[in-house]
Amino acid sequence: MLKTKVKASSLSNLTDARYFAAFEVNWLGFNLSAGDADYCPPQTAAEIREWVDGVEIVAEFGIEDLDEIRPALDLIRPDGVQVGMFASSATIMALSREAQVFQEIVPDLPFNGRDLQILMDQNAAFVRYFLLNFDKAGISWQDIRNGHPFGPEVLQGICEHYPVLLGLAMSPDDALEALSQLPAQGLSIRGGSEEKTGFKSFDELDPLLEALSLP
């Protein structure tokens, strides 16, 4: 069991799914945006779902509209749906009637704390979790500590007002420090491609997840 909620994001293979499920993460997210480097075909995601237990499944999308999202949802029957930062309010509202909605936001420059709050306010009534994906913008916890794109005090205020999952490049010590300072709901951790079918090294992830594990 982990000390905080964890969403394993951008999964595309069974090896990752089994690894994260063994650590008892809360959600397994599969990237269903065709053309992305971590794309997982909906049929593959549906098959992987049959092999893992005890975790909720999130179907991840980017700029797709509701008509493009619908066939994958009918196939996978996910517990949650993730949309991108530019998803329409109508799409988010419709999806919220069927599943938990996660909205990914990439808070790169020229974003400031106020810009982020305005964006989150637009859909706060229908979004279960906002995934602030600093990692996708190349921003680490150390960057935020140094005030880029804003400091920990701004992020603390955002986490106090919205249900936030943090996607940050961080060491195990950074993760524990961030969680001690910020009232975030949890973390988002990325999966990745296999070196070959059924084989992958988790040397970078092991220390982080072990640090997040309860004694």
CATH number at residue 88: 3.20.20.70
Read off the pLDDT of residues 138-168 as tens digits, 9 standing for 90 and up.
999 999 999 988 899 999 999 999 999 999 9
Q: In the predicted model, is pLDDT for residue 109 greater than 80?
A: no
Burial class (CB in 10 A: 0-12, 13-18, 19+), 168: buried
Which pLDDT score, from 0 to 100, does residue 201 have?
A: 42
Q: In the predicted model, is pLDDT for residue 172 greater than 80?
A: yes
Residue 163: partners with Cβ closer than 8 Å, 6 or more residues away? 127, 128, 129, 130, 185
Which pLDDT score, from 0 to 100, does residue 153 have?
A: 94
Mean pLDDT of the chain: 91
Query: 201 or 187: which carries more pLDDT confidence?
Result: 187
Which pLDDT score, from 0 to 100, does residue 198 have?
A: 39
Read off the pLDDT of residues 31-48 as tens digits, 9 standing for 90 and up.
999 888 889 999 999 999
Q: How many domains does the chain have?
A: 1
Instruction: Tell me which residue range forms the domain holding 57.
Output: 5-212
Burial class (CB in 10 A: 0-12, 13-18, 19+), 198: exposed
92-99: which pairs have CB atoms within 8 A and are 24 or more residues apart?
92/123, 92/126, 92/127, 93/126, 94/66, 95/66, 95/69, 95/126, 96/126, 96/127, 96/128, 98/73, 99/73
Which pLDDT score, from 0 to 100, does residue 162 have?
A: 97
